[in-house]
Structure 1
């Protein structure tokens, strides 16, 4: 049965309660990315696993999540976002259980891949449902909470992982970081079934299996080498895989044009990308997520250069988390005052904060870095909801799931590329040195590169909200 309603004249009375449920689905995927980083030493000691196995525990999740996001978003459009959200959440619970009770590194890697797959099915439905159930005048506030969720998830991952391992609840050790998902989902899934209103495309059609397979293969061929390249020394097979990504994307594009010309439903309609400003917005999103490399380089500076423990490094980055928590609450006011400049202004604030950290560290004033980190967090909290809204509003609500998958997939690709390129720049400048001065110099160069990406992305974002929105 088709479920539709006029969100403007008849908004869902339970939409704010539904938002809490949806944000749990948006919270779990980034949480499980960050939390595992903290637990890796314990996992390696327990399994006596190789460094390659440890890399796969991280990259298996990240790669699968990134390559399946577009397909996951489209599934919600076709089969109902509540249904797909629930399916992804239950799959995430099953995969988390497999990870938590894994008896070997191979089983844990399989569980992580399945977690990434389920996360890609679940996560796009949150953003798509927000776009579908909230009227335009409330959407900025809802997206502010959505943006806040990412900051909370990243910080919670850094602290919760260490705390759970230290507490050793029921003797579970590192396994608790996965098993903790089960009671959360046991509460959230029934609530989602009872309280979420079903939304989907007005013209559901059928799933383009060929397109879904080609886009997944193309993204895998692009992202897997980017994630693994530096660690694996850019071996021949990774370079060959990267080279195949372009022909796979060309083949996918031709397939989609053919499917659309036949009057059928492509996974990504080529005509969709003709919507004014959409491509520009996606490029801005790609550059915006260069900030993902900041968490890597600052952590290495704190631990490798200053010799701090993971917990102390987590405390050092807390000002950015506080800024990120407060920024989204100011984003709606920024939108009212600065209009189409809001997302760009947020990214400029981030860039100023990053450049300030580089200057302070370069001149030996690292004890004042906390102020600049707060500025970085505020800018990120302002930029994210305004940027997401300016992109998602370029498409009709019937394609909210696809737009959500596109945005999330673009963010993941931007993060992977930034970690590889800017992370590579950081380690190239650092070389074999381990002293605080050399690490600070490498950080400053990499932070400046991130700031440049943010400034360019901010420039691209200007004007996105100036175009007339599509009819709802």
Structure 2
């Protein structure tokens, strides 16, 4: 069984198999976030669910996860990262099984909250353990694999969801998208017990309970109305919650400054956020994950809408994107060594070319598009996105001391999960609004792609500041 060591101990190390085991803990939660998309129509029919309830199937998972990731990172620093990883993995396995057995939509929504919450205990331990045990090229490669897990998980989720729903094995239909987690989780769980070492901070820091409550409330006030508002016609409660986001954010920030000033451990220490590299890195993360999450959501709606693709065809359209992520993950360390932090700016530029190309194809051929006609643009988008995402985690984590590795990991994953949900809500609302115009769904999706390309171009000079941080 793996030994227990402190984070700063030189004996704490990870074998390649241990790294892959941990990466499974990053891959599965993202897979579960995206695999559900293609199953929503079937869930709606089978469980007699409204559109608002179907949005909550996605939203409750993302909100619960985003609320608790920073807390999960802090708990791992204090009580042991492997311990929290195993607790999270065991709970995630159980809730995945229960989600697949859900008898009605109400039960499924409650179980999705539990699934997202347990994922929040598991995921931050991955980056934190890597940061605490590896250095040099090994660390760069492992962090790159973590980034790749997010992109590949998103693409594979759409592909696998389409395959499973279309196969309808034993008449299980949408339930398979939850059941598929169980054998993978069990394998990762057993491997983690045997080969992943225990690490934790030398000095145990108390968890900032008030800060956690304020952060969680702020995220609920932001994400819940954005997820449900459009489907419900923007009732008063959604507007009131959105209006409370700014004061809640200020209240949380003030509490964090006071907590750190009196020498107590803040949930999100302002001193860490003041680091130039952390500020730039998190800003880039917000822009990237919001646009990426919005693109995936709008693309799925359009291709399975007017384009008439089946869930399987829609899923296969993401295959070139997933392949690009895989290639970038393999050569990530060599590319970072050659280009340094400028690799992120190069990724934005390549990604912009991909989105523009995809938009032109959609504008020209819609609705006669399919996996083959979109293959090249999706390949370029995946390559550029990989060059942004994979080095980004390493750049931000490099700003965080080893004893706060869980904090840095939690901040990144909170940003990732929040912005993927935020992107799906905001970009999705924008897409749906434009799609009702004379442009239709194809024109609306092309406009979304051109908009993301413009954001990518603006991000290039901003990202170059990382070279000077």
TM-score, with normalisation over the residues of structure 1? Answer: 0.92
Q: Is the 8 A contact 2:155 2:321 kept in 1?
A: no
Q: Residues of 2 paired with 1:440 and 1:455: CA distance?
A: 23
| 1:441 Cα offset (Å) | 2.0
Over 3 Å counting, the alpha-carbon distance change for 1:275 and 1:42 in structure 2 is same
* Match of residue 374, structure 2, among 369, 377, 387: 369
Q: Residues of 2 paired with 1:141 and 1:300: CA distance?
A: 34
Q: Residues of 2 paired with 1:249 and 1:30: CA distance?
A: 26
* Match of residue 387, structure 2, among 365, 382, 390: 382
1:306 aligns with 2:307: yes
Q: Residues of 1 paired with 2:461 and 2:416: CA distance?
A: 17
Over 3 Å counting, the alpha-carbon distance change for 1:302 and 1:76 in structure 2 is same
**Corresponding residue for residue 414 of structure 2:** 409
**Corresponding residue for residue 282 of structure 1:** 282
**Corresponding residue for residue 298 of structure 2:** 297
RMSD: 2.2
Q: Residues of 1 paired with 2:357 and 2:113: CA distance?
A: 38
With 455-464 and 244-253 compared, the bigger mean Cα shift is at 455-464
Q: Residues of 1 paired with 2:283 and 2:11: CA distance?
A: 34
Q: Which has the higher contact order (CA 8 A, sep 6+)?
A: 2
Over 3 Å counting, the alpha-carbon distance change for 1:248 and 1:457 in structure 2 is same
Q: Is the 8 A contact 2:286 2:419 kept in 1?
A: yes
**In structure 2, the residue corresponding to 1:231 is in which secondary structure?**
helix
Q: Residues of 2 paired with 1:295 and 1:357: CA distance?
A: 13
Q: Is the 8 A contact 1:281 1:460 kept in 2?
A: no
1:449 aligns with 2:451: yes
What 5-or-longer segments of structure 2 have no aligned partner? none
Alignment of 1:351-366 (within 5 A): 351-364=352-365
Moved over 6 A (4+): none
CA deviation profile, 1:23-47 (whole Å, cap 9, x unmatched): 1111111111122222222222222
Q: Residues of 1 paired with 2:137 and 2:179: CA distance?
A: 39
Over 3 Å counting, the alpha-carbon distance change for 1:174 and 1:140 in structure 2 is same
CA deviation profile, 1:398-417 (whole Å, cap 9, x unmatched): 11111111111112232233
Over 3 Å counting, the alpha-carbon distance change for 1:444 and 1:239 in structure 2 is same
Q: Residues of 1 paired with 2:420 and 2:102: CA distance?
A: 28
**In structure 2, the residue corresponding to 1:459 is in which secondary structure?**
helix
CA deviation profile, 1:389-430 (whole Å, cap 9, x unmatched): 111111111111111111111122322332233222222222
**Corresponding residue for residue 345 of structure 1:** 346
**Corresponding residue for residue 224 of structure 2:** 224
Q: Is the 8 A contact 1:387 1:461 kept in 2?
A: no
Size of the alignment, in residue pairs?
Answer: 462
Q: Residues of 2 paired with 1:267 and 1:75: CA distance?
A: 11
Q: Residues of 1 paired with 2:130 and 2:7: CA distance?
A: 14
**Corresponding residue for residue 391 of structure 1:** 396
Over 3 Å counting, the alpha-carbon distance change for 1:125 and 1:392 in structure 2 is same
**Corresponding residue for residue 36 of structure 1:** 36
| 1:19 Cα offset (Å) | 0.8
Q: Is the 8 A contact 1:288 1:453 kept in 2?
A: no
| 1:462 Cα offset (Å) | 1.9
* Match of residue 461, structure 2, among 456, 459, 462: 459
Alignment of 1:2-13 (within 5 A): 3-4=5-6, 6=8, 10=11, 12=13
| 1:169 Cα offset (Å) | 4.1
**Corresponding residue for residue 243 of structure 2:** 243
Q: Residues of 2 paired with 1:358 and 1:208: CA distance?
A: 46
Q: Residues of 2 paired with 1:318 and 1:242: CA distance?
A: 37
Q: Residues of 1 paired with 2:162 and 2:96: CA distance?
A: 18
With 317-326 and 345-354 compared, the bigger mean Cα shift is at 317-326
**Corresponding residue for residue 470 of structure 1:** none
| 1:375 Cα offset (Å) | 0.7
Q: Residues of 2 paired with 1:166 and 1:118: CA distance?
A: 29
TM-score, with normalisation over the residues of structure 2? Answer: 0.92
**In structure 1, the residue corresponding to 2:265 is in which secondary structure?**
coil
